Amino acid sequence: MTTAWRATVLTLFPEMFPGPLGVSLAGKALASGLWELEARDIRDSATDRHRSVDDTPAGGGPGMVLRADVLAAAIDAAAINQNRPRLLMSPRGRPMTQSMVAEFAAGAGPLIICGRFEGVDQRVIEARNLEEVSIGDFVLSGGEIAAMALIDACVRLLPGVMGKQASGVDESFSEGLLEYPQYTRPQEFEGRTIPEVLISGDHAKVAAWRKAEAEALTRARRPDLWAARGGQKGTKSTTDG
């Protein structure tokens, strides 16, 4: 019997979990035991009667910094296996990608630390070998929402979570491309019709159309992704001039 994929979250607000992770696809999988979630309160590792977890920045400046000793104790108390990654959600971290998510989903599940205040004492990042991960070039009030995004992205890739396994393959970023446009009934909506090729029954033509549309969207909206693919030439989009 294999152990379920597990997300262990260290946070100052454990009541935020499972939150959105408790409903829809992730919630059903959680209730079915396909994955597990543990939210641990960092304050439980504080040593003073005020349960202090932060202090003023060394060198001065605004805000507060999460203390190294308290966070290190919280990490140690979680007692996770060494093969599980230790992640710190941080706007200065490595950008989260679908390939990164797939790597995390293939393992036993990460320990995720939700930063707060002005950040985390650098010494605990180094001492506990934390990998900083960012979900985008913006700043949130804390790492909890970012952690939820990472967990959700991982959970949907776990075996048995999605109804059709192909759903996790044929979508945005799975092959370095944005996903092609999707359509469904009715065939006509406010004067707009479904592209004829999609109702032609010719699977080869449908596949070619979808690839061309995905490439066109990626070139137009994410030139960084297109450049990373080496500007591969594909089938000309039906929307190109």
pLDDT tens digit string along 150-179?
Answer: 999 999 999 999 976 545 556 678 788 999
Distance CA 6, CA 81 (A): 11
Comparing C-alpha atoms, which of 173, 92, 176, 174 is closest to residue 133?
Answer: 92
**What SS3 state is found at 189?**
strand
**Does residue 17 carry a pLDDT above 80?**
yes
**Does residue 39 carry a pLDDT above 80?**
yes
List Cα–Cα distances, 214 to 90, 193, 235, 238, in angstroms: 30, 19, 10, 11
**Does residue 118 carry a pLDDT above 70?**
yes
**Does residue 58 carry a pLDDT above 50?**
yes
**Residue 1's pLDDT band (cuts 50, 70, 90):** very low
User: Above pLDDT 90, what percent of the chain?
Assistant: 88
Q: Are 10 and 71 in contact (CB under 8 A)?
A: yes
Cis, bond preceding 85 (omega within 30 deg of 0): no
**What SS3 state is found at 1?**
coil
**Does residue 234 carry a pLDDT above 70?**
no
